[in-house]
Amino acid sequence: MIRCPHCGTTTRIYHFSWSALSCQGCDKIVDKYDFDVETKVKTENINLSKDQWQCYSDTPNDVIKTVNKFFTYILFVCETPVLAQKTAYAYLERYVTWGFLDSECCQVATDMINKYYNSDINRWQCMNEELIKR
Ligand SMILES: [Zn+2]
């Protein structure tokens, strides 16, 4: 479930292949990154500290908070660990200036995914699978 930041209407979503949605409550177009995520259904909230993420030390706390929130969301909506990883990397690209795509952060993200899905993928898994498909 995601919650509209304008009117608070919640919408159930089943996949991640959209970039913006028009809210069913107020008809405003909302970018997917601006939706609040309702996470209590299935996912425990991800709440890693700056140190745990191993991103750069000058990363603003707001960024950490947003990344944690979005990561919780990814775990909630993605059905497979590889999809979650792919989605996570695509998202973390926004924060590349704070080191979120460095190998340390990718490993942290992958560890989290493995823990949640009880899987055992490595941090290149989603890229490897794309190569195999080609
Ligand atoms: Zn709305």
CA of 15 to the centre of ligand 1 (A): 19
Residue 122's nearest CA partner among 109, 99, 60, 23 is 109
CA of 30 to the centre of ligand 1 (A): 8
Q: Where are the domains of the chain?
A: 2-37, 50-133
CA of 127 to the centre of ligand 1 (A): 36
| CA gyration radius, the chain | 15
CA of 1 to the centre of ligand 1 (A): 13
CA of 41 to the centre of ligand 1 (A): 21
Between the CA of residue 47 and those of 66, 71, 80, what are the distances in Å? 10, 9, 21
Which helix (H) or strand (E) covers residue 78, if one does? none
Measured distance CA(35)–CA(104) in Å, rounded: 28
Expressed in angstroms, the distance from the first to the final Cα of the chain is 34
Helix (H, G, I), strand (E, B) or coil at 95: helix
What single DSSP character describes residue 16?
-
- Digitized pLDDT (tens) for each residue of the chain, 134 residues in all: 777 878 888 777 766 666 777 888 898 888 776 766 654 444 567 889 999 999 999 999 999 999 998 898 888 888 889 999 999 999 999 999 999 999 999 999 999 999 988 899 999 999 887 666 55
